[in-house]
């Protein structure tokens, strides 16, 4: 079977622009309207609208202040550790004016996890939301990042201002940068340099071990925006019927630090003339209220949010009539859930896409011509995307047959930071091995069947089992362990640990069976106390006599996944 090519015209992709130049200074052929014709961002709670002129002013002023105060420049790294905020994109684009690279950290990270981000990327500045300040201070101390290199996205609440007086804020820096004479010269990229000049170091677990920093150049993100825009413009239906159109209002409840939030919401939507309502954190009732209050049309969501839309009794209490398009991503949306959502909201168009950090991000997008996209499909391949479906023996599978998805796209990242081994495993001659088992049908629709690699995907977030296994093995009562994903209707999957108790623990359990439950609770607590919430063992802990391994000692996780699914199937019949 030959390679499968995404259909449709792909507009030219500039390779000599930074992302900020592409977004704020350039009018590309796929941009439907000039950028000044509508608000770019709307602050959810206050309703404050940030239009193009203000976006550009704040970006340039903050860039000037960054340079004046810290001499930030070429290839320095700034880490943003914050929930969604209207100045989050401003901070990113200001850094790009200076040639700085951005790494965005999950605001739920523990201090140790943030330390890993800071030390891996060698960040020179940490931009923090006040909610995250205490953890940021702890991490910065361990990472030896001086306290004067911590910047607050907004001032601390009035009652805490005295404690935060020593920290500069983004609004202060913007004011200072605006007053001062421009102190930096923005470098123009040479032809082709956008393909190597780094924009983001976005963390992904890859296939094994601790999260790895994915190297995403400016060209990759620009390419994906152009790909989605080129694809969207192929919708020839009347404007009011189109899934994706300028003038809509979307909601940014998905996090900006995640690749979905960075590329599709922060960049593509604002580029395409869609106003983005910025919501700091997800609360379902507030989410419904925001849809009603702002008359939101476009909802980029993940499957757990769709579960809530289908099942939460409060949904009927809100006016959601403005909803026109729900786009799911980050994890598979089942055919059953798609049909349930369509039945509840018959006037709303529904679809899903597929992507990953290593492909920065989308390689497929919802079918344009369908009111409800083919249930179970992850959308249609974007223009410029080429895929291979590879059988275990290395041969190419025909359409309709499953195999590992391997992707070539102009948006592909260029490897992992300082990790040649992992880079060689995933990035090969311009192709990215996804580790996902898929098939593609005759009309270029992608269906994700399962993951070949061992990652667990919880609400779209990647969890690498070896990280949890190594942590659990610190406990004296644990002799061996394997962590797998347990199917979960809300989260997609949740971590579930198979544990071999130590000899001493087994003796105690024999004397008192209640001791076993205490040990399980201690294991769950050990993970919960030290890991971000989506890595916790919410699936449970099960004792097992031996962890299955192959002759070379590699864990046979699929055996345990099959065992767990068989147990769940039996329970479902009871």
DSSP 463-492: E-HHHHHHHHTTSTTEEEEEEEEEEETTTE
Q: Return the CATH number of 51-188, one of 3.30.70.120, 3.40.120.10, 3.40.630.30, 3.40.50.980.
A: 3.40.50.980
pLDDT given at position 305: 87
Beta strands in 288-339 (DSSP E): 298-301, 325-328
Does the pLDDT value for residue 554 go beyond 80? no
Task: Label the pairing between strands 349-352 and 325-328.
Answer: parallel
Tell me the three state secondary structure of residue 261: helix
Task: Label the pairing between strands 380-381 and 349-352.
Answer: unpaired
pLDDT digits (tens, 9 = 90+) for 229-245: 999 999 888 888 899 99
Which tokens in the block code for residue 299? Answer: 């909802």
**What percent of the chain is predicted at pLDDT more than 70?**
97
Question: pTM for the full model?
Answer: 0.86
Phi and psi at 58, nearest 5°, equal -65, -40
Does the pLDDT value for residue 151 go beyond 60? yes
Domains 4-12+202-451 and 51-188 share a fold: yes
pLDDT given at position 209: 56
Burial of 479 (0-12, 13-18, 19+ CB in 10 A): middle
Cα gap 552→561, rounded to integer Å: 20
pLDDT digits (tens, 9 = 90+) for 152-177: 999 998 766 655 568 999 999 999 99
The residues pairing with 447 across neighbouring beta strands, listed in sequence order, are: 439
Q: Return the CATH number of 4-12+202-451, one of 3.40.640.10, 3.40.50.12780, 3.40.50.2300, 3.30.450.20.
A: 3.40.50.12780
| Domain segments of the chain as ranges | 4-12+202-451, 51-188, 456-573
Tell me the three state secondary structure of residue 419: coil
Q: Return the CATH number of 456-573, one of 3.40.50.980, 3.30.300.30, 3.90.650.10, 3.40.462.40.
A: 3.30.300.30
Task: Label the pairing between strands 456-458 and 461-463.
Answer: antiparallel
């Amino acid at each position: 079977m030959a390679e499968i090519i995404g259909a449709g015209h792909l507009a030219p992709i500039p390779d000599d622009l930074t992302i900020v130049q592409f977004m704020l200074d350039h009018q590309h052929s796929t941009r439907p309207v000039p950028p000044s014709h509508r608000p770019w961002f709307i602050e959810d709670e206050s309703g404050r609208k940030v239009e193009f002129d203000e976006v550009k002013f704040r970006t340039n002023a903050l860039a000037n202040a960054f340079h004046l105060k810290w001499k930030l420049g070429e290839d320095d790294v700034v880490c943003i550790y914050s929930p969604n905020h209207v100045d989050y994109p401003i901070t990113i684009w200001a850094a790009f004016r200076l040639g700085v690279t951005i790494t965005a950290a999950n605001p739920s990270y523990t201090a140790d996890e943030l330390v890993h981000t800071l030390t891996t990327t060698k960040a020179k500045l940490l931009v923090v939301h006040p909610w995250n300040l205490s953890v940021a201070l702890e991490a910065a101390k361990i990472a030896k990042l001086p306290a004067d290199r911590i910047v607050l996205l907004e001032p601390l609440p009035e009652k805490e201002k005295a404690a935060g007086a020593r920290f500069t804020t983004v609004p202060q820096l913007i004011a200072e940068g605006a007053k001062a004479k421009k102190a930096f010269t923005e470098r123009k990229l040479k032809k082709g340099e956008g393909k190597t000049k780094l924009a983001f170091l976005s963390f992904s677990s890859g296939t094994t071990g601790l999260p790895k920093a994915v190297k995403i150049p400016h060209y990759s993100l620009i390419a994906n925006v152009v790909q989605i825009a080129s694809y969207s413009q192929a919708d020839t239906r009347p404007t009011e019927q189109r899934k994706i159109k300028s003038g809509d209002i979307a909601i940014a409840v998905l996090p900006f630090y995640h690749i979905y939030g960075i590329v599709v919401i922060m960049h593509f939507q604002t580029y395409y003339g869609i106003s983005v309502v910025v919501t700091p954190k997800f609360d379902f009732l507030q989410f419904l209220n925001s849809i009603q209050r702002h008359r939101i049309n476009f909802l980029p969501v993940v499957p757990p949010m769709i579960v809530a839309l289908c099942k939460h009794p409060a949904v009927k209490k809100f006016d959601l009539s403005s909803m026109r398009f729900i786009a799911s991503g980050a994890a598979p949306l089942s055919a059953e859930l798609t049909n349930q959502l369509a039945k509840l909201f018959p006037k709303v168009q529904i679809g899903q896409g597929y992507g990953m950090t290593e492909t920065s991000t989308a390689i497929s997008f919802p079918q344009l011509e369908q009111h409800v996209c083919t249930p179970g499909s992850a959308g249609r391949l974007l223009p410029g995307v080429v895929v291979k479906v590879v059988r275990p023996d290395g041969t190419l599978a025909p359409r309709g047959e499953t195999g590992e998805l391997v992707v070539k796209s102009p948006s592909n990242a260029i490897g992992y930071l300082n990790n040649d081994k992992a880079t060689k495993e995933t990035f090969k001659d311009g192709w990215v091995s996804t580790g996902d088992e898929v098939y593609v049908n005759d009309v270029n629709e992608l269906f994700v069947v399962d993951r070949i690699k061992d990652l667990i995907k919880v609400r779209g977030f990647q969890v690498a089992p070896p990280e949890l296994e190594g942590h659990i093995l610190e406990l004296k009562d644990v002799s061996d362990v394997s962590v797998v994903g347990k199917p979960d209707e809300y989260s997609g999957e949740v971590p579930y640990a198979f544990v071999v108790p130590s000899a001493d623990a087994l003796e105690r359990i024999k004397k008192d069976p209640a001791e076993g439950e205490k040990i399980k609770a201690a294991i769950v607590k050990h993970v919960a106390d030290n890991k971000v919430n989506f890595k916790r063992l919410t699936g449970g802990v099960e004792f097992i006599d031996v962890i299955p391994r192959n002759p070379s000692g590699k864990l046979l996780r699929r055996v345990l996944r099959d065992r767990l699914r068989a147990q769940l199937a039996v329970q479902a019949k009871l």
